[in-house]
């Protein structure tokens, strides 16, 4: 009896080992063959917006670099949280990716999110960025950033500045600017970009904090004057626009769009995705489309992207806490 029991136990252990070995071989084989079918990309915003347009620009080139098609799925809701949560909860097999933007960093800082996305996502590639800029109307009495700051101190509260949505990156950027310069202006939030721009162009508000892509056509028509852009260096498309840094203001921030996956993705799949999306983002067709949309092609690989997340998370947390934006977001949510 004892001998039979030992033999039975040995047989069971061998069976487990065989199954485990087969499973491991299958897993390696799947990673080696990846991808064998279409790859979904969840866009946590509505169709037609900047995130969606970026994803669909990539979609056109996927077969060339990934060997399979991309299928864009819009999952709008809760300022991106619903879509981001779905990306986190998807199987880490490389067949459900996400198109992330700066709000994946901001939303957890306001509280109420189930996940801290910088800890859940693997950064595959940053594709484009859309720097924040500050502008006035072309016939404004202030024509430089320093003149703007000086005017607001001489006439406190007289000028109003617009941004889209409480808690958005332009809102955070404007708070960083006010803290850095001591400018005294009244803030006016708007629910949509078109409403904000209409109010600005109608001189209902005298200053606009927004992404530079929103100002491009108006600047070209000499309707508005862009005073500064929040980049390290001047932009090629806007050579006459100084940076905030040139004006002594330490402000660098931009909305960015990039591709993310789950942290648990197999290393071989991470490598394939990184190489494929680097190719897509470098492709002349993608570059032209991005520039036509007013974006800056701004590729970052996984390591640089992760470092950027960490830096932005720290910087934005400080501004949100010190400016009261966090409390404002809680009041808006009814908490």
Residue 112 lies in a domain: yes
- Does residue 239 sit in the same domain as residue 156? yes
- Does residue 242 sit in the same domain as residue 267? no
Residue 325 lies in a domain: no
At 25 the pLDDT is 38
**pTM of the complete model beyond 0.85:** yes
Residue 334 lies in a domain: no
- Does residue 140 sit in the same domain as residue 168? yes
At 331 the pLDDT is 82
- Does residue 240 sit in the same domain as residue 97? no
- Does residue 228 sit in the same domain as residue 135? yes
If we measure between CA atoms, which residue out of 241, 250, 253, 252 comes closest to residue 144? 241
For position 73, which CATH number holds? 3.40.190.150
**Centroid of chain to Cα 24:** 36
Q: Are 196 and 220 spatial neighbours (Cβ–Cβ below 8 Å)? A: no
- Does residue 157 sit in the same domain as residue 107? no
Asked if the peptide bond before residue 35 counts as cis, ω within 30 degrees of 0, the response is yes
At 18 the pLDDT is 40
Distances (CA, A) of 38 to 31, 48, 139, 180: 15, 22, 52, 48
Residue 66 lies in a domain: yes
Which residue range is the domain that position 295 belongs to?
38-129+255-302
Rounded to whole angstroms, the Cα distance separating 231 from 244 reads 7
- Does residue 44 sit in the same domain as residue 138? no
Rounded to whole angstroms, the Cα distance separating 266 from 251 reads 37
At 333 the pLDDT is 74
Map 76-133 to HEC letters: CCHHHHHHHHHHHHCCCCCCEEEEEECHHHHHHHCCCCCCCHHHHEEEEEEEEEEEEE
For position 219, which CATH number holds? 3.40.190.10
Residue 179 lies in a domain: yes
- Does residue 99 sit in the same domain as residue 240? no
Residue 15 lies in a domain: no
If one counts the domains in the chain, the total is 2
Residue 268 lies in a domain: yes
Tens-binned pLDDT, residue by residue, of the chain (335 aa): 444 444 444 444 444 444 444 433 344 557 889 999 999 999 999 999 999 999 999 999 999 999 999 999 999 999 999 999 999 999 999 999 999 999 999 999 999 899 999 999 999 999 999 999 999 999 999 999 999 999 999 999 999 999 999 999 999 999 999 999 999 999 999 987 889 999 999 999 999 999 999 999 999 999 999 999 999 999 999 999 999 999 999 999 999 999 999 999 999 999 999 999 999 999 999 999 999 999 999 999 999 999 999 999 999 999 999 999 998 888 877 65
At 22 the pLDDT is 40
Rounded to whole angstroms, the Cα distance separating 51 from 192 reads 16
């Amino acid at each position: 009896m004892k001998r039979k029991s030992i033999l039975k136990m040995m047989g069971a252990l061998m069976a487990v080992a065989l199954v485990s070995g087969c499973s491991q071989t299958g897993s390696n084989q799947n990673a080696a063959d990846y991808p064998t079918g279409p790859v979904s990309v969840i866009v946590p915003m509505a169709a037609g917006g900047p995130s969606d347009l970026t994803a669909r620009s990539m979609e056109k080139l996927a077969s060339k670099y990934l060997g399979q098609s991309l299928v864009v799925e819009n999952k709008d809701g809760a300022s991106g949280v619903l879509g981001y949560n779905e990306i986190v909860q998807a199987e880490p097999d490389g067949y459900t990716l996400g198109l992330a933007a700066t709000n994946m960093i901001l939303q957890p800082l306001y509280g109420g999110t189930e996940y801290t996305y910088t800890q859940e996502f693997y950064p595959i590639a940053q594709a484009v960025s859309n720097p924040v800029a500050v502008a006035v109307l072309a016939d404004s009495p202030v024509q430089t950033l320093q003149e703007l700051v000086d005017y607001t101190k001489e006439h406190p509260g007289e000028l109003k500045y617009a941004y889209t949505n409480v808690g958005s990156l332009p809102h955070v950027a404007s708070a960083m600017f006010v803290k850095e310069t001591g400018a005294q202006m009244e803030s006016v939030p708007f629910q949509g970009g078109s409403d904000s721009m209409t109010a600005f162009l109608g001189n209902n508000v005298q200053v606009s904090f927004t992404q530079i892509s929103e100002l491009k056509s108006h600047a070209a028509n000499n309707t508005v004057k862009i005073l500064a852009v929040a980049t390290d260096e001047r932009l090629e498309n806007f050579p006459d626009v100084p940076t905030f840094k040139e004006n002594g203001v330490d402000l660098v921030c931009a909305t960015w769009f990039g591709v993310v996956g789950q942290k648990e993705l197999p290393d071989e799949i991470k490598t394939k995705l990184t190489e494929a999306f680097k190719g897509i983002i470098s492709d002349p067709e993608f570059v032209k489309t991005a520039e036509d949309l007013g974006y800056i092609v701004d590729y970052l690989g996984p390591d640089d992207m992760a470092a950027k997340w960490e830096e932005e998370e720290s910087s934005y947390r400080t501004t949100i806490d010190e400016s009261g934006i966090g409390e404002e977001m809680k009041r808006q949510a009814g908490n």
